[in-house]
Amino acid sequence: MDEFLTLTRAERIFYKFLAIAFIIFVLLEVVLRLSFNLFPVHIRSELHQVRLVPWMSRPIVHNVAKGIYGYPYDSIPYEPDGIIQIRVLPELQDHQVYWGDAHFRVSTVRVWDTHLAGFRSAPPRYPLDVMTFGDGFTFCWTEYADCWVTQLAKRYGNWFNAATPGTGTAGQFALMQQIVPPTKPRLVIWAWYADDMRETYRYDAIRTGAAPFAYYLPLVNPSTKPLNASAMFMTVRLVELALGLNQDPNRASYEVVRVSNHDTRVATPQRPHPAALSWEENRHGLYRAQEMFEQARRFLREQVGAELLIVLIPTKEEVYGDSLRPRFGAAYVDAAGEARRALAEYLETNGFKFIDAFPALQAAAQRGEVLYYSMSEYLNVNGNKVLAQLVAEHLDREQLLAAR
């Protein structure tokens, strides 16, 4: 028996090595979890769904609220809505969102006690001066205080932000029809971004039962790792990031390029730009945006005597066009902005009050400012600051919020 248990020197070295490796691995896993908040945001975005402990499914960042979409699209908890397309859950408290290199917290309120949707806004105070509508660019992919709407609300009376990410102009107008008449704002600011065209097409296709066109997703949360990642995943993913491996699950659709003094991800020129009007669903969405804006202007004046101000937000490929043209060509940059230009021309011709944010954002980019997140299409803190200043100047110049 003693002879059977006797280990050779080589065997003792081997088992000692295994024991040391196991202890190092366990310590590394513990240290990585304890130091999670010290990592840069883009690394935390990759790792936040790792198990808190190996024997539980609960991730490191645990949000109680869940929506209709599974990981990795569950960063914002949505519910379907047959009228307004989708809605964010109400009464969220510091719900954490990791989205590429963006990290922010979301709290939501109801516009009134029985309304089903949640809005990222201060509770409404009356008389209401401004109500804002739009998608993620108005909901804002920043902390609440850094959102361009919040910055303006601090300067211009009582505001309520009714923006809902993932919606298009049709769903947004349906929401406007619900909540504007009871709240009676004197000004409605409605922000438009190119992705609204596809979301409007999806809204119409769902409501009419029409088969959708081939759908080309806009930028989505880059992290695609499963919720129930093994305990080993955290270490493996850090090694992948360090070696530059497996960093972009959408690499067939996007490329990382150098713009001014930073790297950013943009749509590949190997296929039409997601905002190009060569996509049939975008042409549909552009026509519907024109239709919705006309109906909204008439609706607001007749129902509550409110004015409508439209804000057009450009894509990052347009804003960074000076840097992208030498590499991708002028046609690529022009296609990224053709819907915005067409809509601006329509609004100008038909006498709408509107702001085209492209010149101001382009000028800031030419000064070397970083305005969009590197790994998504959304405006960062600085981009929101530029947009807030632009809208403030317009409000003052046009006296749209003159004293009652």
pLDDT at 24: 83
Lowest mean pLDDT among 78-92, 160-174, 307-321: 78-92
Into how many domains does the chain fold?
A: 2
Secondary structure element (H or E) that encloses residue 97, with its range:
strand 95-99
pLDDT at 253: 76
Domain match, 46 and 131 both: no
Give a yes or no: residue 71 inside a domain. no
pLDDT, tens digit, for every residue of 342-374?
999 999 999 999 999 999 999 999 999 999 998
Give a yes or no: residue 336 inside a domain. yes
Rounded to an integer, the average pLDDT of 330-343 is 96
Domain match, 133 and 195 both: yes
- Angstrom CA distances, 124 to 50, 117, 130, 149, 366, stand at 38, 14, 10, 14, 38
Domain match, 108 and 202 both: yes
Give a yes or no: residue 347 inside a domain. yes
pTM: 0.82
Give a yes or no: residue 65 inside a domain. no
**Integer Cα distance of 163 and 139 in angstroms:** 5
Domain match, 335 and 392 both: yes
Domain that holds residue 32: 2-59+222-250
- Between residues 332 and 228, the one the model is more confident about: 332
Domain match, 308 and 191 both: yes
**Integer Cα distance of 313 and 132 in angstroms:** 14
**Integer Cα distance of 214 and 201 in angstroms:** 11
> For the chain, what percent of residues have pLDDT higher than 70?
78
- Is residue 178 exposed (0-12), middle (13-18) or buried (19+ Cβ within 10 Å)? middle
- Between residues 172 and 19, the one the model is more confident about: 172
Q: What is the 3-state secondary structure (H, E, C) of 291-320?
A: HHHHHHHHHHHHHCCCEEEEEEECCHHHHC
pLDDT, tens digit, for every residue of 173-217?
999 999 999 999 999 999 999 999 999 998 998 887 654 443 333
Domain match, 26 and 131 both: no
User: Which residue reads 């695609």 in tokens?
Assistant: 224
pLDDT at 71: 45
**Integer Cα distance of 16 and 255 in angstroms:** 46
Q: Is the pLDDT of residue 67 over 70?
A: no
pLDDT band at 270 (very low <50, low <70, confident <90, very high): confident
Give a yes or no: residue 403 inside a domain. no
Domain match, 87 and 44 both: no
Rounded to an integer, the average pLDDT of 158-172 is 96
Cβ atoms of 159 and 130 within 8 Å: the answer is yes
Q: Is the pLDDT of residue 31 over 90?
A: no
SS3 at position 104: strand
pLDDT band at 278 (very low <50, low <70, confident <90, very high): very high
Give a yes or no: residue 404 inside a domain. no
**Integer Cα distance of 18 and 65 in angstroms:** 42
Angle between helices 9-34 and 233-243 (to 10 degrees): 80
Burial 340-368 (b: 16+ CB within 10 A, else e): beebbebbeeeebebbbbbebbbebbeee
Domain match, 207 and 339 both: yes
> For the chain, what percent of residues have pLDDT higher than 90?
58
Query: Of 139, 190, 194, whose CA–CA distance to 165 is shortest?
Result: 139
- Angstrom CA distances, 40 to 47, 128, 373, stand at 11, 40, 14
- Between residues 198 and 74, the one the model is more confident about: 198
Tokens of 244: 């530059």
pLDDT at 394: 97
DSSP code per residue over 123-191: PP-SS--EEEE-SHHHH-SS-GGGSHHHHHHTTSS-EEE---TT--HHHHHHHHHHHHHHH--SEEEEE
How many CA atoms, within 13 angstroms, populate the side-chain half-sphere of residue 172?
A: 37
Give a yes or no: residue 173 inside a domain. yes
pLDDT at 302: 97
pLDDT at 53: 67
Domain match, 188 and 336 both: yes
pLDDT, tens digit, for every residue of 90-146?
999 999 888 878 889 999 999 999 999 999 999 999 999 999 999 999 999 999 999
Tokens of 364: 């800031």
Positive or negative, the CA dihedral 208, 212, 217, 218 is: negative
- Angstrom CA distances, 106 to 76, 123, 179, 328, 387, stand at 9, 14, 21, 37, 21
Give a yes or no: residue 259 inside a domain. no
- What is the end-to-end Cα distance of the chain in Å, rounded? 97
pLDDT at 314: 98
Amino acid sitting at position 74:
D
Domain match, 159 and 26 both: no
The CATH number given to whatever domain includes residue 144 is 3.40.50.1110
pLDDT at 7: 74
pLDDT at 87: 92
Domain match, 236 and 208 both: no
Domain match, 135 and 198 both: yes
